């Protein structure tokens, strides 16, 4: 009764038209070519839902192809800010037992579904095949509908739900009672031409040695590998995933790290990364050579640059790290996944480099508990780039954003002459569970005297004590690993608040609060943060401190020695 006439008409004609489209296309249509949808990801752990898509920047739209291998009475597919089914933007296919319907819907804060008065998920076709039902539909990036999700650069939280029984209307769907889940992807892939590969290119696979995936929801697996003896300097020019067939929904992300060159040897290891049996020396294998996350394709270096490995001053030891996400706790599943490196002995014009931007790993940068959007910023200052960068500058072509569990947004901007000029990389829906090296849509030129400012937004609503900066998973980081050329001596360009001014903050808190905060010299910075009563005054003063106090800048060479 509360629907307007035009909404009722929209729903009625959408249902009738879509039912006819499904019927006709199911009988007469043809499955689109796989090449029409270059990006693919399994939505559910069992692989029953498989999503493929392409991006049309001229149309400002995404075209989806959803393969449903075991269709019951319908499904829900859509997007939301953090992967929740409340306040979500959904396409719904459902059956009342006789007819099938498709519509654009949205859910309110209670999770109740409503037909959208503006139908922006446009059904293009459907077809039954031996492998299941193919649904084709289109969605514009921006629809000007306040109930719709704005598709933008960065991470997108895709959600899905499977309807087991027929329903008479959307209102009859109880989303809390259906099988549902989420998958994170980068929908808006950059439209970059694949560079030509050299004829002398070789490949090397760094893969797990037929391990049995542990029957845990989350496992990080570490495996040590070695380059051949007397392996001379080469350039990595491309890398891609190697996924064991059948495990596509379990292998969440992977990274290959090169170990520190100052150690002559590293012990062999093949086991969980958090095991007490893992040798401590493996913690010195942190130089990223390649990274992949679910939904990502092959990673290409620009034609004029390659990532150097092998030769003098380069360790032959590599560490493969695989994150398995096994929510259904499968047992006895074997896996030999990993990453395939493409490399050449014909060195390109430039060595590519990786530089760390953001905040120093230090407890002086902290987030109070109970915050929904606390902001911290790290600076690569003009003084540092003036000293460390060549006159012709550097070119950033890829970026990997990184925080720990409280991170929600990350952005790096380029500032020149005191004005923000360009966004290097931004993710407004960032998830610490989905980190990949992303090729930039356009190369960013950075010159001496420029500033690179990295800002992270955190949520600590589920925590009762302060979260300090550090290496632990319950501590926090704010980092952007930028991939660039030509390589320079500058490997780390970060900042933190001046420790002296933080000490003044602790003194102030101690003076203006009834509860005493211990200022004893032997008490560590984390302990002082943990003892603070987090009232509004203490929170606001800390925010002001981080916004206006002087900073300590780390402008470091690869040897960890600072530039003067």
Q: Is 166 helix (H, G, I), strand (E, B) or coil?
A: coil
Task: Name the active-site residue from 220, 269, 284, 501.
Answer: 220
pLDDT at 77 over 70: yes
The H or E element containing residue 443 is: strand 438-446
Distance CA 127, CA 54 (A): 19
Domain locations in the chain? 1-30, 39-185, 201-348, 353-557
Mean pLDDT computed over 341-351: 96
Show Cβ contacts of residue 204 under 8 Å, excluding neighbours closer than 6 positions.
Answer: 340, 341, 343
The CA–CA distances, whole Å, from 30 to 19, 69, 137, 336 equal: 18, 16, 15, 35
**pLDDT digit string, tens, across residues 293-334:** 877 788 999 999 999 999 998 999 999 999 998 888 999 999
Q: Report pLDDT for 35.
A: 57
DSSP-assigned letters across all residues of 546-561: HHHS-EEEEEEETTSP
Distance CA 101, CA 94 (A): 5
Whole-number mean pLDDT of the chain?
90
pLDDT at 559 over 90: no
Given 3.40.50.300, 1.10.3720.10, 2.60.120.230, 3.30.300.30, which CATH number is that of 353-557? 2.60.120.230
Contact 489, 557 (CB under 8 A): yes
Q: Report pLDDT for 7.
A: 52
Q: Report pLDDT for 116.
A: 94
pLDDT at 9 over 70: no
Q: Among 66-70, 451-455, 554-558, which stretch is predicted with the lowest mean pLDDT?
A: 554-558
**pLDDT class for 2, splitting at 50, 70, 90?**
very low
pLDDT at 62 over 50: yes
Q: Among 283-292, 402-411, 447-456, which stretch is predicted with the lowest mean pLDDT?
A: 283-292
Mean pLDDT computed over 227-248: 93
Q: Report pLDDT for 294.
A: 78
Q: Is 35 helix (H, G, I), strand (E, B) or coil?
A: helix
- Domain topology for 201-348: Jelly Rolls (2.60.120)
**pLDDT class for 31, splitting at 50, 70, 90?**
very low
pLDDT at 24 over 60: no
**pLDDT class for 390, splitting at 50, 70, 90?**
very high
State the burial class of residue 512 (Cβ atoms within 10 Å of its Cβ: 0-12, 13-18, 19+): exposed
**pLDDT class for 273, splitting at 50, 70, 90?**
very high
**pLDDT digit string, tens, across residues 476-510:** 999 999 999 999 999 899 999 999 999 999 988 88
Spell 175-206 as b/e; 16+ CB within 10 A means b.
Answer: beebeeebbbbbbbbeeeeeeeebeeeeebeb
- Residue entry with tokens 């004590």: 465
Distance CA 133, CA 75 (A): 12
- Residue 157 annotated among the catalytic residues of the structure: no
Q: Report pLDDT for 191.
A: 86
Q: Report pLDDT for 196.
A: 87
The single-letter DSSP state of residue 98 is: S
End-to-end CA distance of the chain: 73
Mean pLDDT computed over 27-52: 74
Given 3.10.180.10, 3.40.50.300, 3.30.420.480, 2.60.40.1210, which CATH number is that of 39-185? 2.60.40.1210
Q: Report pLDDT for 514.
A: 64
**pLDDT class for 437, splitting at 50, 70, 90?**
confident
pLDDT at 122 over 60: yes
Indicate if 353-557 has the same CATH topology as 39-185.
Answer: no
Task: Name the active-site residue from 325, 402, 433, 503.
Answer: 402
Contact 420, 414 (CB under 8 A): yes
Distance CA 29, CA 191 (A): 29
Q: Report pLDDT for 4.
A: 52
Contact 555, 562 (CB under 8 A): yes
- Residue 220 annotated among the catalytic residues of the structure: yes
Percent of residues in the chain assigned helix, strand, coil, to nearest 5: 15, 40, 45
Q: Report pLDDT for 286.
A: 82
């Amino acid at each position: 009764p509360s629907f307007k006439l035009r909404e009722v008409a929209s729903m009625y004609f959408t249902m009738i038209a879509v039912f006819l489209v499904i019927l006709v296309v199911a009988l007469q249509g043809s499955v689109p070519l796989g090449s029409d949808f270059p990006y693919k990801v399994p939505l559910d752990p069992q692989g029953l839902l498989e999503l493929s898509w392409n991006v049309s920047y001229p149309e400002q739209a995404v075209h989806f192809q959803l393969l449903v291998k075991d269709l019951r009475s319908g499904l829900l597919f859509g997007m939301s800010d953090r992967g929740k089914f409340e306040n979500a933007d959904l396409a719904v296919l459902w059956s009342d037992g006789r007819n099938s319907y498709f519509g654009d819907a949205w859910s309110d804060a209670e999770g109740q579904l409503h037909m959208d008065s503006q139908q922006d998920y446009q059904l293009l076709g459907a077809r039954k095949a031996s492998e299941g039902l193919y649904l084709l539909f289109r969605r514009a990036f921006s629809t000007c509908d306040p109930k719709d999700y704005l598709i933008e650069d960065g991470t997108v939280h895709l959600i899905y739900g499977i309807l087991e029984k027929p329903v008479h209307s959307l209102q009859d769907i109880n989303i809390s009672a259906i099988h549902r889940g989420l998958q994170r992807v980068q929908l808006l892939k950059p439209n970059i031409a694949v560079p030509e590969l050299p004829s002398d290119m070789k490949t090397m696979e760094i893969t797990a040695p037929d391990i049995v995936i542990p029957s845990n929801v989350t496992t990080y697996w570490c495996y040590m590998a070695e380059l051949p003896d007397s392996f001379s300097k080469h350039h990595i020019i491309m890398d891609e995933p190697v996924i064991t067939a059948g495990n596509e929904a379990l292998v969440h992300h992977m990274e290959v790290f090169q170990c520190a060159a100052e150690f002559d040897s590293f012990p062999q290891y093949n086991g969980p990364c958090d095991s007490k049996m893992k040798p401590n020396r493996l913690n010195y294998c942190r130089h990223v050579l390649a990274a992949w996350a679910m939904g990502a394709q092959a990673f290409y270096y620009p034609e004029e640059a390659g990532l150097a490995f092998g030769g003098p001053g380069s360790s032959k030891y590599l560490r493969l790290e695989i994150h398995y996400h096994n929510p259904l706790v499968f047992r006895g599943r074997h896996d030999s996944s990993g990453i395939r490196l493409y490399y050449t002995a014909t060195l390109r014009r430039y060595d590519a480099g990786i530089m760390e931007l953001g905040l120093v790993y230090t407890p002086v940068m902290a987030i109070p508990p109970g915050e929904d959007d606390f902001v911290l910023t790290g600076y690569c200052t003009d003084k540092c780039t003036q000293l460390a960068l060549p006159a012709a500058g550097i070119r950033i072509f890829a970026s990997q954003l990184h925080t720990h569990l409280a991170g929600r947004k990350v952005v790096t901007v380029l500032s020149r002459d005191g004005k923000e000029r360009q966004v290097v990389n931004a993710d407004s829906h960032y998830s610490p569970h989905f980190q990949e090296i992303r090729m930039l849509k356009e190369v960013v030129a950075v010159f001496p005297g420029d500033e690179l400012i990295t800002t992270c937004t955190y949520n600590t609503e589920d925590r009762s004590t302060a979260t300090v900066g550090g290496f632990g998973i319950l501590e926090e980081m704010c980092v952007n690993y930028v991939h660039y050329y030509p390589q320079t001596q500058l490997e780390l360009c970060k900042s933190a608040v001046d420790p002296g001014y933080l000490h003044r903050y602790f003194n102030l808190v101690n003076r203006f609060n009834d509860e005493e905060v211990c200022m004893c010299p032997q008490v560590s910075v984390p302990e002082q943060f943990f003892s603070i009563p987090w009232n509004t005054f203490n929170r606001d003063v800390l925010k002001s401190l981080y916004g206006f106090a002087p900073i300590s800048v780390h402008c470091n060479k690869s040897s960890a020695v600072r530039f003067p």
